[in-house]
Amino acid sequence: MFSPYYAWANRSQPADANDYCALNVAIYSPGNKRWTMTERGGKWIHRDQHTFQIGPSALHWDDNCLTINIAERAIPFGQKVTGTIKVYPEQLFQFTTPLDDAEKHRWGPIAPSARVEVSMQHPALRWQGHAYFDSNEGDEAISVPFTEWDWSRAAMKDGSTAVIYDVRQKSGVERLIAMRFKPDGSVEPFEAPARQALKKTGWRIQRHMRTDANTRATTSQLLEDTPFYARSILQSTLLGEKVTSMHETLNVPRLVATSTQLMLPWRMPRVPKMFS
């Protein structure tokens, strides 16, 4: 979705997305922060019904577990990022919904609530906890219909996961998706509260969060602060419950700006021989 190489290739003629694949790994552990998003061409890609291979890394689905084997190098200093992540869904969902009026972009949570086991060799980290697994797909560039969006997900007391997609389109029409994914496999829409502005990021990205009336959302941790995208952990109130939310903001005009496109290769190199 953020590949500058794919964007450049599409200027002349439709490009094959299989030639522009990457595994993004972000580790935020204090003292062990790592970022990897090395893009690889089609000769490094293999996929079948159960496996998606991207160079030396791979995702494999086996019965009730998604295993992610990571063998990458961090940007910008080339440290090893190796290890295994196992994701065990508590319930699988087949829910999808369009994000735009033309229905060319779709989102759906595959496992909105899951258990994760992380075993990293480089850096040396081990932990278990709660996980979330979803999918975004599109038939055109996200720059065509969208201006910006805010997305958040929060684990509720009853074991369900509440997701809010707050989308602003270039047409001026807003789309608001507020869904609760329950442990029994059911999906229930809910009325999202009013939008409130959050503190701008260091790159002056304006973020928003929908939180219950007469309450304020606060940022516990700003995980990613880039010219076009921010990822945060927020504390807020939703449906009468105090919740911790993973929150993301995407500013599309910032993403497609020439300055951003020229900076992206520093975070997303396309050097398969060096990193394989």
In the chain, pLDDT over 90 holds for what percent of residues?
Answer: 92
What is the SS3 assignment for 25-49?
A: EEECCCCCCEEECCEECHHHEEECC
The average pLDDT across 95-105 equals 97
- pLDDT band at residue 276, thresholds of 50, 70 and 90? very low
CA distance 270 to 159: 40
Concatenate the DSSP letters of all residues of 147-198 into one string: EEEEEEEEE-TTS-EEEEEEEEETTS-EEEEEEEE-TTS-EEE-----EEEP
pLDDT reported for residue 1:
75
Model confidence pLDDT, tens digit, residues 111-161: 999 999 999 999 999 999 999 999 999 999 999 999 999 999 999 999 999
pTM confidence score: 0.93
273 has pLDDT over 90: no
Contact 267, 35 (CB under 8 A): yes
The average pLDDT across 79-98 equals 97
pLDDT reported for residue 13:
86
Q: How far is CA 222 from CA 29, 127, 200, 209, in A?
A: 13, 21, 11, 14
The average pLDDT across 228-251 equals 98
274 has pLDDT over 70: no
- pLDDT band at residue 275, thresholds of 50, 70 and 90? very low
12 has pLDDT over 90: no
* Residue of 188, 204, 195 lying closest to 167 (CA atoms): 195
The average pLDDT across 70-87 equals 96
Within 10 A of 164 (CB to CB), how many other CB atoms are there? 23
The average pLDDT across 76-105 equals 97
The average pLDDT across 59-84 equals 96
The average pLDDT across 268-272 equals 79
Model confidence pLDDT, tens digit, residues 181-236: 999 999 999 999 999 999 999 999 999 999 999 999 999 999 999 999 999 999 99
Concatenate the DSSP letters of all residues of 60-90 into one string: EEETTEEEEEEEEE-TTT--EEEEEEEEEES
Q: What is the mean pLDDT of the chain?
A: 95
